[in-house]
Amino acid sequence: MSQTGRQSLNISKVLCVIMGGGQGSRLFPLTKDRAKPAVPLAGKYRIVDIPISNCINSRFRRIYILTQFNSTSLHSHISRTYKFDQFSAGFVEILAAQQTFNNTSWYEGTADAVRKNLVHFLNHDFDYLLILSGDQLYRMDFQDVIEHHRHPPRQPRRGGSPRHHAD
């Protein structure tokens, strides 16, 4: 138990899913040859490195990335960049959209992409499935998000503070 008397979060019970993005038409021409999460950022990094880093820094090391559109450079980057040691249960794996005998269509949105990959997710033991955008550009500790979900506050919280304007 933690010092607060609450049972601590078993980080191995969180499975992360990062959405690999669609066409990224608002970033064209940067997305002409790659998915939006694969767009270079600060030299050797890609946009997708931000949510992956947030997961790893939150000590969540089971990460799937769902891809569909123009994803070759994203696949290449992920396979070259993220390798955990063979003794850990951690991974960063790509699940590309695929057509099967049972399903001949591509992803039709976030929920559909998750539904079509449940067969892969259910091969893991998890209590929480953390679904993230592949193009987030902010730092966040996802353990705080999970803890807030596990133990919501008694009083509602707001995300900002009221501002008082002088007349």
Q: What is residue 92's predicted lDDT score, i.e. its pLDDT?
A: 93
Domain count, the chain: 1
- pLDDT tens, position by position, 136-159: 888 999 998 888 888 877 666 555
Question: What tokens appear for 149 in the block?
Answer: 């979900």
DSSP-assigned letter for residue 93: E
Which residues, other chains included, contact 78 with Cβ-Cβ below 8 Å and sequence gap of 6+? 48, 65, 92, 94
Which structural domain, as residue segments, surrounds residue 71? Answer: 11-150
For residue 19, give the CATH number of its domain.
Answer: 3.90.550.10
Q: What is residue 136's predicted lDDT score, i.e. its pLDDT?
A: 84
For residue 6, being part of any structural domain is answered with no
Mean pLDDT value of segment 122-126? 91
Q: What is residue 6's predicted lDDT score, i.e. its pLDDT?
A: 46
What is the maximal distance between C-alpha atoms in the chain?
Answer: 66
For residue 69, being part of any structural domain is answered with yes
Higher pLDDT, 28 or 155: 28
Q: Determine the Cα–Cα distance for residues 33 and 24; give it in Å rounded to an integer.
A: 11
For residue 166, being part of any structural domain is answered with no
- pLDDT tens, position by position, 41-88: 888 898 899 999 999 999 999 999 998 877 788 888 888 889 888 888
pTM assigned to the model: 0.80
pLDDT band at 4 (very low <50, low <70, confident <90, very high): very low
Q: What is residue 167's predicted lDDT score, i.e. its pLDDT?
A: 56
